[in-house]
Amino acid sequence: MTWLITGGAGYIGTHVARACDANNIPNIILDDLSSGHREFVRDGATFIEGSILDRQLLVETMREHPVVGVIHIAGYKYAGESVRRPLHTYEQNVTGTQTLLSAMAETGVEKIVFSSSAAVYGTPRVETVTEETAKAPESPYGESKLIGEWLLHDQGIATGLAHTSLRYFNVVGTSYDDVVDTSPHNLFPLIGEALRAGRTPKIFGNDYNTPDGTCVRDYIHVSDLADSHIAAARALQGGTALRPAYNLGSGDGASVGEIMRATRRMTGVAFEPEVSPRRPGDPDRIVASGEAAARDLGWRMRFTLDEMISSDWNARLARG
């Protein structure tokens, strides 16, 4: 009764894998280590180094282990960079998901929890996004995630695939000193690594249509996110029908400027951020309601923004 976690050696995937362990859910990890880290994988875990583009490897893995479902986190997750690398983004996120679904169909694996994204909404014309808000992605990354949801939907009609997609908003913080977000494009690692190196953190654009001119985002703690994957996997395994997609959001938001001020407060490091040009593909504001996920998956926000920042900072210091 094992779950395969693709991308399970990454920042988010590691939290999901460890949440599986804590909840006695057998799991195996597949990751090509393009952005994941072998040292994040716990001792004794079944780890397979490989790509979701390798169909034969996927088939062999699913046949060798009693896989009942997949938590699909692997992918190319950089909205801004996807504008520069659209073909790579589509290969990893669309072709990769199609290949995974094909391997699942061949081996009779009929359940999947998919890592989707707030990027499917683009710049919403509403204050708070719900699952019914119009989809208008503004980057190849957002488009690729929406196509991934379509693939699951169509495969569900064709084969009865049980599925749900979890639309992540800005995932931050950590619950482990040995695991941090190492993305070269995400806000928290950009701030934390700049401060550790004695550099000034940057704000990418201060001319957005927001109160202080900087992007407003919905920040959620990675461990809360991981718990929702556990709830979704258990529901699908138990035969519970879930919505096609859930927003994992707080219903509130913080601007990049607010994050900078909170970082000064929580780290004790005095700095004034440098302002750089906008990154392509970044919307002004996106904040979501998590009501549907709270109802069906027990979704809740257990961490304050200050706690998210301090957990990230302390883990970076612990890593040396």
Q: Which residues are catalytic?
A: 141
Tokens of 250: 């707080």
Q: State the Cα–Cα distance between residues 263 and 202, nearest whole angstrom.
A: 13
Q: Considering only CA atoms, which of 151, 275, 127 is closest in space to residue 213?
A: 275
Q: State the Cα–Cα distance between residues 89 and 95, nearest whole angstrom.
A: 9
Q: Considering only CA atoms, which of 49, 136, 140 is closest in space to residue 91?
A: 140
Q: State the Cα–Cα distance between residues 284 and 196, nearest whole angstrom.
A: 28
Q: With 0-12 CB in 10 A as exposed, 13-18 as middle and 19+ as buried, what is 83?
A: middle
Q: Which residues contact 224 (CB under 8 A, 6 or more apart)?
A: 248, 299, 300, 301, 302, 303
Tokens of 238: 């138990």
Amino acid at 18: R
What CA–CA distances, in Å, run from 73 to 45, 226, 243, 306?
17, 11, 18, 27
Half-sphere exposure for 70 (CA within 13 Å, toward CB)? 30
